[in-house]
Structure 1
Amino acid sequence: MRKLIVIITLLSINIGMHAQENQIGNTGNIGIGTTNPFSPLHIKSSLDGMVTFQTSDNTWLYTNWMDNGGTRKTWMGLGADLSSFNINVENGTDKILFNGGNVGIGTTNPEHHLQLTSSNNPTLAIGKLNTNTQGKSSLIFFAGNGTTANGFTMQYNKTNSTDRLSFVDGGNREALSIENGGDIGIGTTTPDSKLSVKSGGQSINFLTGTNSSGYVLNIGVNDDGVNIANNSKIRGFNLKNSDQTINFLTGTNTSRYNLNIGVNDDGINIENNSSVRGFNFKNGNGDLMRITHSGNIGIGTITPDSKLSVNGVVHAKEVKIDLVGWPDYVFENTYQLLTLEQVETHIKEKGHLQNIPSAQEVEENGIELGEMNKKLLEKIEELTLYTIAQEKQIQEQNKKNQELEDRLKKIEDLLSQN
C-alpha cells in the first residue's frame, strides 16, 4: 500500500507540473508526457529512465500481474537478494531467470549463458513463421573475433523439394547435412545413401540399393576401394584397387563363398561353388596349388586324388612313411621261397618279377612308395636267401674238390715211389 501511495503522489505532482503535457482522458487512460494516452498508463519522455522502482529494504522488488478476480497469475522483477531478474508464473512451473549474464529457463540457477531445464522434455524451437514453403532458420556459434569466418552454423534449410539440417563452416560450406528422409552427407549436400562421405572423387557410402534387402558399404575412388555388399548379385566383402582385389562374397548362387587376393590373375583364391570348392594359389601360368574341400592337396594339379598329389619333382632331405607288415616274414621257416627255376619261368611268362608291378601298370597307376619299398625289400631278402643257399652249395663243392685234390695227390705220390 505504501508503494501505491508513493506512485499516486508522484503522478499527481508530475501532472500538476506538466498539465499541458499530461492528460487524464474520459476513457480513464492516464497520459504522462502525452495528451493522447492509448492505455490505462501511457508514459512518454525523452529521458532514458521512464519509470523507476526502488526498494527501501534491499529485498524483493517486482510487479504483479493479476486476473479479473484479483488473483496473481505471474510476477516480474528482482528476487530476494536483488541479484537476479525473474519472470515467473504463479505456480512456479515456468520461469525465466537473468542472473549474472546467465539466462535460465525452467531453472533458478543457470550455470551457462543459456540453460533450458524442464521436468518434461525441454524444447528450443527456432523457425521462420510464415506461409512460405521455403526458407532457413539458423543457430550460429562464434569463436575468435566473433565473425562468421570464425564460427559455425547449424542451419535448417527448407526448399520446395528437400528439407535438410546442415552444419555450415566459416566459409559458408555445408560440412554435414541430414536429409529429412534420414540420409546423412559429409562433404556433399545430396547424400544418396544413409551415410555418404565424399571429397572430390573419394567417397564412403552406407546404403541400400533398389533391393530392399541389400546392404552396401563402399569406400573408394571411382572403381577402387572397399565394398561390403548384400544384394541380389553380390554378397560379401571386397577390397579392390584396379586389378588387385580381396573378395569375401557369394555370387548369384547363395551357397557360394569366395576369398580372392591377387593382382591380375596372380594370387590366392578360396571359393565354394557348384564345381570348385577349396583353397587355390595361382598366377598367370595357372593354378599352382589347390586344397580341396575334402582335404586333398594338389601341387601342380587342380584335381588331387589323394591327401597330397604332386605333378612334378619333389626334393626333400628325408621322407618318413608309416607302414605295417615289413617283410621280415621272408626269413621265417614257413615262408615259401620260390625256386630259381620258378622265378625264371615267371619272368619268361610275365616279363617281370612276381609281386612286382609291370611297366604298364606303373605308367597307368603309378606306385605307392611305401608298398613298393616293401616289395623291393622282399626281393632283396629273397636274393639274400638265394645267395646264402648258393654259398652253401659253393662251400660244399669246394669241400668235394679239396677231397678230390687230396686223393689225386696221394695217387701221384704212390706212382712216384715206384
Structure 2
Amino acid sequence: MTPFYRPLALSLAALCLAALPATAQNISGNNLTLSGDITQNGFGPNYFGAGNNIFDGRACIGGACDGTEPFEQGPLRLKWSEPDILFEDSSSTGGISSNDWRLVINDTGITKFAVQDIDGGTIPFTIEGGVRDNALWLDTNGRIGMGTSIPQNSLHIVAADSPGIMLQQTGGTFGNQRWEMIGNETSFVIRDSDSNTLPFSIDDQAPDDALVIAVSGEIGLGTTNPDAPLHVQRADGTAEVLVENTAGPSAARGMFTMRSNGGSFFTMDNTQAKTTWFFTHEQASPNRFIIADAVADGAEMSLTAGGVLTVQGGFAVNSTTLNVPDYVFADDYALRPLSEVAAFIDANRHLPDVPSAAQIAKDGLDMTDMQMRLLQKVEELTLYTLELERDKAAQASEIAALHARLARIEAALAR
C-alpha cells in the first residue's frame, strides 16, 4: 500500500506536547494531566501511546488554523488547502482486506466531496457543490429518495419537470447508445436519445390493463387473461384492429398477411347469434380458398388456384343499380330486325350488346352484367319467336282461305 497524505503543519497544535526541534518528546505516566497552552516548535510527530486517548473539547487541525475558529458545528475542524482524510488500513491478517480509502474535498475547478479508492485508483462516489436539497435520501425503510426526503417507493425520483432515468452504453465492442425513461404530466415514454425517437409511450390516465404481458408471453390489450399471442378486448363496443399506412408515395402495399407451415384460417364468431364463419386456406390438395359456416354440411363456397368457383347454394344479386332488361317488352322498344342481327353477326362474329371473346380476355367478365345481357337476348329471342308465331298463324289463316277458295273453284268446274 502507498500512504497518501500531506504532513499536517502544527498537527494537534492545541493538544500535543511541546517537542524538541528535531525529535519527538514522549511522556508517559499514569493519570497524566496537561493544562494550559502547549506550543510545538518545528515539525515532528507527537506520539500518544495510551490504550485510549480521550480529548474533551474541540480541535482545529491544519496549517490554516489561527485560533479564531468558532467551532459552532462539531468538535473537529480540518482547515487546509483542499483538506482530505486518509484511511490507511494496516491489516495483515489473511482474508481481511487492507485497501486504503480517502475522503477528498474539492479539486481543480470542481467543488465536490468525494470518496477515493486509493488502491483501486477510482473515485466511486462524488457530490458536487451546490446540489439541491434532498438530492439523495435514504430513509429508515431502505427506500431511496432523489429530490425528496419522503420516498414512497424503493426508488422515488422528484423533479420540477420530466424526471427520468438514462441508461448509456459507452465504447467497447458494441458501440455507444443512450436510452431514457421519462415521466411527466402527459405521458411515460422510453426515448432513444441518440436517434431522438419515442418508440414507446403511455399517455396519462391510460385505462387499466391497456397492455398486459402474461406469464405465457401472450399479450393482452384490455384484458389480463389473453387467450392468444395477441388478444384485444373491449367492453364498450370499440374493439378494433386498424392497419394504416400514412406516408410515402401512393402504391399498392401488403397490409395484412397470414403465413403458416400448412393451411390457415380466420374465424368470425357472432357470440349473440351463435353463428360462426370460417375463411380457410385449405391444407389438403387442391389447397382451395374456402368459406364455410360451423354446420358440417360442406363448404358454402370454394375457389381453386385455377379459378374454379363452386357455390353450394344459389347465386343472387340484389343491387339497386341492377338494370333488369324488362324494358325489352316495352311498346317503344326498338327490336332489331333479324336481317340487321344477321349482318352484325357476319361482320363481328358475336351478338350485338354482348362483349366479344377478345374484350372479355382484355377486361375480364362481369358476371352480373353478362347475366343481364343474356337475359336481354333471351327476351329479344322470345319477341322474335312470338313474332314468328304471329306470322305463322297469319300464314295458316291465309292458306286456309286459299284452300277454301280452291275448293269452291274445283266444285264449280265439276258441274
**TM-score between the two structures when normalised by the length of structure 2:** 0.35
Larger Rg: 1
Structure 1 or 2: larger helix share? 1
